[in-house]
């Protein structure tokens, strides 16, 4: 899975930590954009408007 | 159908559980990892994978937290650097103990017992704290002004001067870091629940500096811990990726809820949820000892169910407050 099985133990660990770091940054940016885009609409809808 | 190497149902479960954990972490500011490792253990993952993946999840969550707090950041880099040295040593020690116990076939039992103790103690403390929190507001305000720190009386040289605090013995800082590191390496928790009070009440560091330093420290120790566990195949990305995707969204909901709902009203349920986590791990251990598979299901239901109840209470109260404010707004403009 993820094509990293062939790497050595330490290199695989570096890639895994890098993947988690990349995902975290991507989620921060992605959800940040999503919240700016649809956040006010969702809050209004939940508020009963 | 498989996505990321796991079945779709499991993927949805991980994302959903991540959302719940994220709401709790975003709202209460702690406990992001308290239920992840126990849930993975209860689900039957090897202890090494449960702890390692829990640490990788802590790492991802704290990276997002650090990005969010970067503009507010009041970080004591000297304290963070010193902590990093001792936390790393502690993680390595904790991991070695886990791998040794695993080779002896004892890891599951020992870590389960440790989790029962940890969740039970922290949960009981949160319940106790929430019951007395309203009486303590004046005391808290006094604490915020200037506290010398419980450990400032230990004058074992060399002394280290900290941002906004009296100087603290290097050995005290290293010992606290080591304890947090061992806990992280042994149980896969970030250690924020220990670091924050240690820095604020132990070292006398102001709350704002403690928050910034804490999140930087957990990011570093989570990264180091993930690397050390990943070296021995203890990090499963098919667990971490969906959990993180869910928790990043949940944390935004939980953070937004803090401006709508008073934490003190719900904190007691958070404490009870942690106690519920301790009960779940104990139930599962009893099930294992007596070969009762049904208890595994019961313990998973307790963990997920209590997380659903408490995060549901946060969301429900937020929506109710949102509607209440809207009605008030309409009445005042009419």
Is the pLDDT at B203 greater than 60? The verdict is yes
Q: How far apart are CA B118 and CA B193, in angstroms?
A: 11
B189 contacts B54 by C-beta, under 8 angstroms: yes
ipTM surpasses 0.85: yes
pLDDT band at A3 (very low <50, low <70, confident <90, very high): low
- The contact set of B with A (CB < 8 A) is 4-5, 56, 59-61, 63-64, 67-68, 223, 226-228, 230-233, 235, 237-238, 240-241, 244-245, 248-249, 252, 319, 322-323, 325-326
Share of chain B above pLDDT 70, in %: 90
Pairs from B95-100 (Cβ < 8 Å, separation ≥ 24): B95/B51, B95/B185, B95/B186, B95/B225, B95/B228, B95/B229, B95/B232, B96/B185, B97/B185, B97/B186, B98/B47, B98/B48, B98/B51, B98/B185, B98/B186, B99/B48, B99/B232
Residue of A nearest to B238 (CA): A1
* Least-confidence region, from B148-152, B202-206, B327-331: B148-152
Q: Which residues of A touch B328 (CB under 8 A)?
A: none
Q: Mutation test of the interface with chain A: which of B7, B260, B322, choosing the one with the most A Cβ atoms within 10 A?
A: B322
Q: Tell me: the pLDDT tens digits for B89-105?
A: 888 898 889 889 988 88
- Taking CB atoms and an 8 Å limit, are B64 and A2 in contact across chains? no
Looking at CA atoms only, how far is residue A6 from chain B in angstroms? 13
Q: What is the mean pLDDT of chain B?
A: 82
β-strand pairing of B2-3 with B6-7: antiparallel
Helix (H) or strand (E) run with residue B168 in it: strand B165-169
Winning range, highest mean pLDDT, from A1-15, B199-213, B282-296: B282-296
Q: Which residues of A touch B245 (CB under 8 A)?
A: 23, 27
| Count of A-B CB contacts under 8 Å | 87
| 4-43 in chain A: CB under 8 A from chain B | 9-10, 12-14, 16-17, 19-21, 23-25, 27-28, 31, 35, 43
Q: Tell me: the pLDDT tens digits for B151-177?
A: 777 777 888 887 777 788 889 889 988
Q: How far is CA B101 from CA B48, B108, B140, in A?
A: 10, 8, 42
- Report domain extents, chain B: 2-333
Is the pLDDT at A17 greater than 90? The verdict is yes
- Supply φ then ψ for residue B160, to 5 degrees: -120, 125
């Amino acid at each position: 899975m993820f094509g990293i099985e062939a790497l050595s133990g330490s290199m695989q660990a570096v890639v895994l930590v890098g993947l988690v770091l990349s995902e975290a940054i991507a989620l921060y940016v992605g959800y940040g954009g999503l919240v700016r885009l649809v956040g006010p609409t969702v809050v209004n809808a939940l508020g009963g408007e | 159908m498989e996505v990321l190497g796991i079945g779709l149902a499991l993927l949805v479960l991980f994302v959903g559980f991540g959302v719940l954990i994220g709401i709790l972490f975003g709202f209460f500011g702690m406990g992001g990892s308290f239920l992840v490792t126990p849930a993975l253990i209860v689900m039957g993952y090897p202890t090494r994978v449960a702890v390692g993946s829990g640490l990788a999840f802590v790492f991802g969550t704290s990276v997002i937290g650090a990005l969010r707090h970067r503009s507010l950041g009041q970080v004591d880099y000297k304290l963070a650097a010193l902590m990093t040295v001792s936390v790393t040593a502690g993680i390595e020690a904790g991991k070695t103990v886990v791998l040794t116990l695993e080779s002896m076939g004892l890891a599951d039992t020992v870590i389960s017992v440790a989790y029962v103790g940890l969740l039970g103690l922290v949960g009981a403390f949160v319940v106790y704290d929430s019951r007395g929190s309203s009486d303590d507001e004046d005391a808290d305000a006094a604490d915020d002004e200037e506290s010398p720190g419980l450990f400032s009386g230990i004058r074992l040289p060399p002394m280290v001067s900290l941002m906004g605090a009296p100087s603290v013995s290097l050995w005290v800082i290293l010992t606290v870091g080591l304890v947090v590191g061992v806990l992280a390496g042994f149980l896969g928790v970030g250690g924020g629940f220990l670091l924050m009070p240690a820095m604020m009440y132990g070292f006398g560091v102001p709350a704002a500096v403690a928050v910034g330093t804490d999140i930087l420290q957990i990011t570093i120790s989570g990264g180091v811990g993930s690397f050390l566990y990943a070296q021995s195949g203890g990090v499963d990305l098919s667990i971490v990726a969906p959990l993180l995707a869910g928790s990043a969204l949940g944390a935004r909901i939980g953070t937004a809820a803090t401006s709508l709902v008073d934490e003190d009203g719900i904190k007691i349920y958070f404490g009870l949820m942690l106690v519920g986590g301790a009960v779940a791990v104990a139930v599962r251990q009893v099930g294992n000892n007596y070969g009762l598979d049904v208890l595994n299901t019961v313990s998973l239901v307790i963990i997920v169910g209590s997380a659903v109840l408490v995060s549901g209470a946060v969301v429900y109260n937020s929506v109710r407050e949102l509607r209440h404010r809207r009605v008030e707004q309409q009445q005042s403009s009419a």
